[in-house]
Amino acid sequence: MSQKDLLERADRVLPGGVLGGHRSGPGLEFVVKDARGPYLWDSDGKRYLDYLLGSGPMLLGHAHPAVVEAVQRQAGHGTTFMLLNEPIIELAEEIVRAVPCADQVRFMSSGSEATFFALRVARAFRRRDKIMKFEGGFHGTHDYALMSTTPRSPKAFPAAMADSAGIPHAITEEVLIAPYNDLATTEALIAQHHNDLAAVIVEPYQRVIVPAPGFLKGLREVTRRYEVPLVFDEIVTGFRLAYGGAQAYYDVVPDVAAFGKVLAGGFPLSAVAGRADIMKHFDAALEGSPDYVWQAGTLNGNPVAAVAGLATLGELRKPGAYERIFATGKRLKDGLAAAAKKHGMPAQVSGEPPVFDIIFTDSPVVDYRATLTADRRRIALFNEECLRRGVVKAGNKIYVSLAHSEQDVEETLAVFDAALAAVAARTA
C-alpha cells in the first residue's frame, strides 16, 4: 500500500493522524516500514538518517544483532508472566551495580510511570505532599509532571502553570517551580518551603541545557540539609551520558532516580532506583499500613524487555563504546555550529555530545527562559529542511547512536549545511 493511502488511513483513526505530539511538518509525514542501524525506510522506500532514535532508546541503533538475538531467544520461552523471572532479576542486579544511588529497583513500563512513582514513593517516605520541579523540565505526562514545562508567559517563581488540558486545578497548588541553574533562588525557595516538600525532582541535564558548575552539587547539599529527597529524572540521561548515568557523569548522587529509554533497548520498560529506606515503601509486606506504596502493572518486569535491556547494556560495557558516542556527537555538534556561523545565523548548539540541538538565539542558554529568546520559526524550518533531505530529528533534540558511522556524519553535516542555507534564505 502506498504511503499516501497509509497516511489517509491514519488520519481517520488517530487524532491528528500522528502518534503523540511528534509531527514531521506540513506535507512531510511518513510511515516507517523498516529500520536498521542508524537508518529508517518509509513505506515508499525512501531512506532517512535517524537522529530521533525512537525518542532516544535506540542508542545502539535499530535492530542491533545482540538485541534481536536475545529477544528471539526469550520469546520462545514466554513473553510475559507478571511474576519474577531470571532476566528481570539480572537487570535489577546490573542497575544496582551501575547506578550510584541504587540500593534497590522497582520496574514499570514507561518513563512517565517511573517519574510518577518516584514522586509517590518520595511522598510516602517524607509524609509530605508538595514537590518542586524546575521550569522547562519534562518529567513525563502525568499531572504532577506537566507543570511549567513549556509556559509561554511564565509566572513568578514558585507558581506553577499546567501544560495540558484536563489537569485538576488543585494540582497547581502542590507543585513549586524553581529556575534551573539558579542555585541562589532555588536554595531560598527550598529554605522557605522545605517543611512542605516531599521531593525535589530535576533533569540533571535539562533537555539540552547543561548544568552550570556547582549547580547540581549545591542542589544536593541544600536538599540533604533539609532532608528533602532529591530525585534525578534519568529517563534520557541514564546509560547515555555514562554507564552510571548523569549521576556518575556529573558526580552527584541523588536519593532516587527514574530510568527508561536506553535501559530497555527499544522495549517498554522503565525503573525507579534508590535508597533502600525509601524503596522499602514498595514492599508488599507493608500492605494495609499507611507506609505502603501500591504499584503494579501487567507488563512490569517483562522478560522480553529485560533481555533487550541486558543485551543493550552488554554492548555499552564494551571498551570504547562511550568514547565513540561522544566523538560522533562532538563532530556533529562542531559541524552544526560551524554551518550556522557560515550562514550568518544567530545560533548556539547546546548540550552534551550524545544529545544536543541548535537554538537560534544570541543569548546564553542557561535556563528555560533563555530558550524563549530563540527564533521558534527558524528551528521549525530547520527541522523541516533536514527532513526534506533525509535527516530525521526530534523537535528539540538530536540523539546520537553507536551505529552512526563516519560516512553518516559526513552526510549529516552536508544536510545541516544545506538546511541552514535554506532557512537563511527563507527568513532573510
Q: Quick: pLDDT tens for 94-106.
A: 999 999 999 999 9
Q: Beta-carbon neighbour count of residue 427 at 10 Å?
A: 12
Residue with cell 520498560: 269
Chain centre to alpha carbon of residue 328: 19
Chain centre to alpha carbon of residue 135: 16
Residue 413 pLDDT exceeds 90: yes
Q: Beta-carbon neighbour count of residue 17 at 10 Å?
A: 14
Angle 303-316/321-342 helices, nearest 10 degrees? 80
Residue 169 pLDDT exceeds 90: yes
**Hey, which residues does 40 pair with through a beta bridge?**
35, 48
**Structure confidence at residue 405 (pLDDT):** 98
Residue 53 pLDDT exceeds 70: yes
Residue with cell 560495557: 317
Backbone angles phi, psi at 408, to 5 degrees: -65, -40
Q: What is the rounded distance in angstroms from the CA atom of residue 272 to the CA atom of residue 158? A: 26
**Hey, which residues does 162 pair with through a beta bridge?**
147
Strands 348-352, 32-36: pairing kind: unpaired
What letters, b where the CB count within 10 A reaches 16 and e where it falls short, cover 156-165?
ebbebbbeee
Task: Categorize the per-residue pLDDT at 360 as very low, low, confident or very high, splitting at 50, 70 and 90.
Answer: very high
Q: In this predicted model, what pLDDT tens digit does every residue of 117-134 receive, in sequence order?
A: 999 999 999 999 999 999
Backbone angles phi, psi at 222, to 5 degrees: -70, -35
Q: Helix (H, G, I), strand (E, B), or coil: what is residue 69?
A: helix
Share of the chain above pLDDT 90, in %: 93
Residues whose CB falls within 8 Å of the CB of residue 394, separated by 6 or more in sequence, listed in order: 22, 51, 52, 55, 357
Residue 253 pLDDT exceeds 90: yes
Over residues 385-398, the mean pLDDT reads 96
Q: What is the rounded distance in angstroms from the CA atom of residue 327 to the CA atom of residue 331? A: 6
- Taking the CA atoms of 280, 108, 294 and 173 in sequence, report the sign of the dihedral they define: positive
Task: Categorize the per-residue pLDDT at 152 as very low, low, confident or very high, splitting at 50, 70 and 90.
Answer: confident
Dihedral (Cα; 186, 187, 189, 195), 10-degree rounding = 130
Over residues 84-94, the mean pLDDT reads 98
Over residues 168-177, the mean pLDDT reads 96
Task: Categorize the per-residue pLDDT at 293 as very low, low, confident or very high, splitting at 50, 70 and 90.
Answer: very high
**Whole-structure pTM value:** 0.96
Over residues 288-306, the mean pLDDT reads 96
The arrangement of strands across the sheet holding 175-178 comes to 104-108, 270-274, 256-259, 230-234, 197-202, 130-134, 175-178
Rg over CA atoms, the chain: 22
Element (H, E) at 333: helix 321-342
Residue 107 pLDDT exceeds 90: yes
Please, are residues 209 and 351 in contact by the beta-carbon 8 Å criterion?
Answer: yes
Task: Map out the domains of the chain with their CATH numbers.
Answer: 3-63+320-426 (3.90.1150.10), 65-316 (3.40.640.10)
Residue with cell 541514564: 238
Task: Categorize the per-residue pLDDT at 415 as very low, low, confident or very high, splitting at 50, 70 and 90.
Answer: very high
**Structure confidence at residue 22 (pLDDT):** 66
Q: What is the rounded distance in angstroms from the CA atom of residue 117 to the CA atom of residue 282? A: 10
Residue 181 pLDDT exceeds 70: yes
**Structure confidence at residue 1 (pLDDT):** 83
The C-alpha cell at 232 is: 534525578
Q: In this predicted model, what pLDDT tens digit does every residue of 323-343 receive, in sequence order?
A: 999 999 999 999 999 999 999
Q: What is the rounded distance in angstroms from the CA atom of residue 256 to the CA atom of residue 268? A: 21
Over residues 295-316, the mean pLDDT reads 97
Q: What angle do CA 260, 316, 311 make, to 5 degrees?
A: 70
Q: In this predicted model, what pLDDT tens digit does every residue of 19-34 receive, in sequence order?
A: 876 666 667 889 999 9
Residue 427 pLDDT exceeds 80: yes
Strands 355-359, 175-178: pairing kind: unpaired
**Structure confidence at residue 21 (pLDDT):** 64
Residue with cell 519474577: 84
Residue 425 pLDDT exceeds 80: yes
The C-alpha cell at 164 is: 495540558
Give the lowest-confidence range in 7-16, 31-40, 402-411.
Answer: 7-16
Residue 248 pLDDT exceeds 80: yes
**Structure confidence at residue 19 (pLDDT):** 82
Q: Select from 403, 417, 340, 385 the least CA-distant residue to 24.
A: 385
Over residues 381-404, the mean pLDDT reads 97
